[in-house]
């Protein structure tokens, strides 16, 4: 049995058996933010929360309006974080009121694994209709539901492999992000996430994103019949909002179709309006065989993932006596499906993809103006729809050797994130790009708040007109603690208030 070799620094009274924390304690906020942070640190992902705590970013945060959160000191911030999974803000009334009604009135079975479900039937029908409106060849598609993005990708990989059982290679792209379970991790070419888990799922190959010639060469090298699927994000989200050159996705589709290679479009981040279209792949001329969705489908409140699959491919894996070859317990549950259905309805009724495209152009123009005004802070800015990236100039002059350079990039983005937070906007780092801070505001954020968010980003830029200032504006004691944290091995830590 493995035991922790280090002593906890938490006071003994806090480490011994404690009173059961009741749901009502949390709901009534008797369970204080400081206590929540301390116990989250002790029993949860300690290192992650410790780092956030050092930066004063650990929260917990509480909803003021769907688009604004406050911390325990009452500082109110515009929320543009949420990793593109919060399409209508935090606990939006459109969903919460519907959930209350659902709780009162719903009689359909809650977890209908082995029976028909009205909620699941409605959501899958609507998803397929929506897709077929954009890409008519999908009118007979079928849907498999699950509870996360990574699980939607695992399903997609299995559908593709069952369709081409003799082929052995999956091709994904540099800087891509598809999740962290074994299959999806194998398609996420990031050494930080992959290295310790090798060997990964065999046959995962990487091609440079946006380079059709390189993909063609790779497919030719391994032999087209040996390729199960090409898995692509139509715009890379966690890679730092990378938009491929025009024609890349269309060419990819034609290339794969010529050889019968399955195309999996990972629309978990881009899909359902974030980048200004219902399906970004379709907007860029790609007609994929499998599409994965997740994040916004859950309305920012519940976990819903979906793998939408062409009929023959679906049948090949789950046809006849093989209908249980792939399954899960919670996918298709009534609450998840109901929230998914309501989210899709709200998106459709208000045509939020169109709003996202339109407001996104305004937002990008503001960022571009800031980049021109503050070139020593912003190296580049990118965006499409309501997905924005700010890539910062390194705060220490280059050239530096490889590893150190990476560290400087990462530290720059982390301090920028903190300064943006200080300017009262909540943003996100990118999981597969160390240099980028992203904004992914709610698609229904009121126009004034959306403009105010960019006013605050402007104030952040004025306060940090050169990336060097990110360092000088950070309290020296904080910089020292962060440096010590970065240099240290994982060990038990106490929160700053503990």
Ligand X SMILES: Cc1ncc(COP(=O)(O)O)c(C=O)c1O
Residue ranges that bind ligand X, judged by CB under 6 A = 83, 148-150, 153, 177-179, 233, 237-238, 266, 268-269, 294
First-to-last C-alpha distance (Å) of the chain: 30
- For ligand X, give the closer residue by CB, 337 or 461: 337
The minimum distance between CB 229 and ligand X, in angstroms, equals 15
Q: Strand 378-384 vs strand 387-392: parallel, antiparallel, or unpaired? A: antiparallel
- For ligand X, give the closer residue by CB, 49 or 153: 153
- For ligand X, give the closer residue by CB, 238 or 287: 238
- The sign of the torsion formed by the CA atoms of 174, 178, 181, 186 equals negative
- The sign of the torsion formed by the CA atoms of 277, 280, 281, 285 equals positive
- Give me 408's structure tokens: 């400087």
Beta-ladder partners of 438: 389, 428
Rounded Cα–Cα distance for residues 229 and 260 (Å) = 9
- For ligand X, give the closer residue by CB, 149 or 495: 149
The minimum distance between CB 343 and ligand X, in angstroms, equals 15
Rounded Cα–Cα distance for residues 278 and 282 (Å) = 8
- For ligand X, give the closer residue by CB, 274 or 310: 274
Interacting residues of 111 by C-beta distance below 8 A, sequence separation 6+: 329, 330, 333, 334
The minimum distance between CB 471 and ligand X, in angstroms, equals 29
The minimum distance between CB 232 and ligand X, in angstroms, equals 10
- The sign of the torsion formed by the CA atoms of 263, 267, 269, 270 equals positive
- For ligand X, give the closer residue by CB, 237 or 495: 237
The minimum distance between CB 73 and ligand X, in angstroms, equals 30
- For ligand X, give the closer residue by CB, 53 or 233: 233
The minimum distance between CB 153 and ligand X, in angstroms, equals 6
Asked if residue 199 has a cis previous peptide bond (ω within 30° of 0), the answer is: yes
- For ligand X, give the closer residue by CB, 124 or 292: 292
The minimum distance between CB 56 and ligand X, in angstroms, equals 24
The minimum distance between CB 179 and ligand X, in angstroms, equals 4
- Give me 261's structure tokens: 């290679």
- For ligand X, give the closer residue by CB, 141 or 238: 238
The 3-state secondary structure of 284-322, one letter per residue: CCCCCCEEEECHHHHCCCCCCEEEEECHHHHHHHHCHHH
Q: Which residue is nearest to ligand X (CB)?
A: 149
Rounded Cα–Cα distance for residues 279 and 142 (Å) = 17
The minimum distance between CB 272 and ligand X, in angstroms, equals 12
Instruction: Describe the crossing of helices 248-259 and 212-222 by its angle, rounded to 10 degrees.
Output: 20
Please give the full DSSP string across 404-449, using - where no structure is assigned. Answer: HHHHHHHHHHHHHHHHHHHTTEE-EEETTEEEEEEE---TT--HHH
């Amino acid at each position: 049995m493995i035991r922790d070799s280090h002593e906890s620094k938490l006071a003994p009274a806090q480490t011994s058996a404690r009173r059961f924390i009741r749901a009502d304690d949390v709901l009534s906020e008797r369970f204080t933010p400081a206590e929540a942070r301390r116990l989250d640190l002790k029993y949860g992902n300690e290192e992650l929360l410790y780092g956030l705590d050092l930066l004063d970013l650990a929260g917990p945060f509480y909803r003021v309006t769907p688009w604004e959160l406050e911390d325990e000191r009452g500082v109110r911030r515009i929320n543009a974080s949420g990793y593109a999974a919060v399409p209508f803000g935090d606990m939006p009334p459109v969903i919460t009121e519907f959930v209350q009604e659902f709780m009162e009135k719903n009689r359909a079975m809650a977890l209908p694994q082995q029976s028909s479900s009205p909620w699941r039937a409605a959501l899958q029908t609507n998803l397929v209709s929506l897709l077929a409106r954009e890409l008519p060849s999908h009118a007979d598609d079928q849907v498999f539901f699950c509870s996360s993005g990574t699980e939607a990708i695992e399903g997609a990989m299995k559908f593709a492999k069952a369709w081409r059982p003799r082929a052995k290679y999956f091709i994904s792209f540099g800087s891509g992000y598809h999740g962290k379970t074994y299959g999806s991790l194998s398609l996420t070419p990031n050494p930080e996430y992959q290295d310790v888990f090798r060997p990964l799922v065999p046959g995962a190959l990487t091609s440079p994103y946006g380079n059709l010639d390189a993909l063609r060469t790779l497919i030719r090298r391994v032999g087209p019949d040996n390729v199960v699927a090409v898995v692509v994000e139509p715009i890379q989200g966690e890679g730092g909002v990378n938009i491929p050159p025009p024609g890349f996705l269309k060419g990819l589709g034609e290339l794969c179709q010529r050889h019968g290679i399955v195309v999996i479009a990972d629309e978990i981040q881009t899909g359902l309006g974030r980048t200004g279209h219902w399906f970004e792949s379709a907007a860029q001329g790609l007609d994929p065989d499998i599409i994965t969705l997740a994040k916004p489908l859950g309305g920012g409140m519940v976990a819903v993932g979906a793998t939408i699959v062409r009929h023959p491919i679906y049948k090949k894996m789950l046809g006849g006596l093989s209908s249980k070859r792939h399954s899960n317990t919670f996918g298709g549950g009534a609450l998840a499906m109901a929230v998914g259905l309501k989210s899709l309805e709200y998106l459709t009724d208000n045509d939020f993809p169109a709003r996202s495209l339109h407001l996104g152009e305004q937002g990008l123009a503001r960022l571009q103006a800031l980049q021109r005004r503050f070139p020593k802070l912003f190296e580049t800015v990118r965006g499409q729809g309501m997905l924005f990236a700010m890539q910062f100039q390194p705060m220490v002059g280059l050239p530096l050797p490889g590893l150190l350079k990476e560290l400087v990039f990462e530290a720059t983005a982390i301090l920028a994130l903190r300064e943006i937070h200080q300017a009262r906007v909540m943003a996100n780092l990118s999981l597969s790009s160390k240099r980028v801070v992203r904004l992914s505001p709610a698609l229904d954020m009121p126009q004034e708040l959306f403009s105010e968010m960019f006013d605050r980003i402007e104030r952040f830029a004025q306060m940090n007109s050169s990336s060097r200032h990110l360092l000088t504006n950070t309290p020296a004691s904080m910089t020292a603690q962060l440096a010590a944290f970065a240099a240290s091995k994982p060990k038990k830590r106490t929160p700053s208030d503990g």
